[in-house]
């Protein structure tokens, strides 16, 4: 069983996966590469002067994989909660189990709704429905969290990436039983 499975590898999901993997948590990252991020050109991402969507997405994937996240190209079609962990079924017929699942599915809430995760009206432009989460990123279903656009944050890459990191840090803290920080020292 994975400690964390992330569904969706846009800025929200890949950022979450990079934090959980870097913290040494077994991390699965499932993505069907149909997100909005690839279509944009980014000049408002702090620390990066300008970057195209495909480069932003692919760099995020590489960062998560570098720290040990397992990136799988597939579509999650079912989430089954109850018992020990959450089962994720995919379009290709695979099934995975994880203790915690982060929904980072961008504009899509179909998977969440099918799993009994509460949704609500979105407030951001062109985002009709989002997953209802508390301040930590938890949904109404134990073990299922949400981050990024699908969790209703402002639709900007730096904010969705930050939200993914926030949710990951909350999960790592819960797994460790103590608040977690990830700070590296300047390399010589």
Under the rule (CB under 6 A), what is the footprint of ligand FAD? 7-13, 30-37, 39-40, 42, 44, 75-76, 104-106, 108, 111, 148-149, 155-158, 160
CB of 187 to ligand FAD, least distance (A): 29
Q: How far apart are CA 176 and CA 144, in angstroms?
A: 18
Q: Which is nearer to ligand FAD, 23 or 157 (CB)?
A: 157
* 166 contacts 144 by C-beta, under 8 angstroms: no
Side-chain-side CA neighbours of residue 162 (13 Å): 9
CB of 109 to ligand FAD, least distance (A): 9
DSSP state of 185: P
- The sign one gets for the Cα dihedral 92, 150, 135, 160 is positive
Q: Which is nearer to ligand FAD, 23 or 28 (CB)?
A: 28
Q: How far apart are the first and last CA of the chain?
A: 38
Q: Which is nearer to ligand FAD, 11 or 85 (CB)?
A: 11
Q: Which is nearer to ligand FAD, 165 or 172 (CB)?
A: 165
């Amino acid at each position: 069983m994975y400690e964390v499975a992330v569904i969706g590898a846009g800025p929200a999901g890949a950022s979450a996966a990079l934090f959980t993997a870097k913290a040494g948590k077994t991390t699965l990252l499932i993505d069907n590469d149909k997100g909005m991020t690839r279509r944009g050109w980014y000049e408002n991402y702090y620390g990066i002067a300008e970057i195209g969507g495909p480069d932003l997405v692919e760099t995020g994937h590489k960062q998560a994989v570098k720290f040990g996240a397992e990136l799988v190209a597939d579509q999650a079609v079912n989430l089954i909660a109850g018992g020990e962990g959450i089962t994720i079924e995919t379009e290709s017929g695979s099934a995975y189990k994880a203790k915690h699942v982060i929904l980072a599915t961008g504009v899509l809430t179909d998977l969440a709704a099918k799993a009994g995760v509460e949704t609500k009206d979105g407030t951001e432009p062109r985002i009709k429905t989002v997953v209802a989460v508390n301040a930590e990123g938890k949904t109404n279903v134990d073990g299922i969290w949400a981050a990024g656009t699908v969790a209703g944050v402002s639709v900007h890459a730096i904010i969705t990436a930050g939200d993914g990191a926030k949710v990951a840090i909350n999960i790592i803290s819960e797994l460790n039983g103590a608040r977690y920080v990830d700070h590296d020292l300047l390399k010589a």
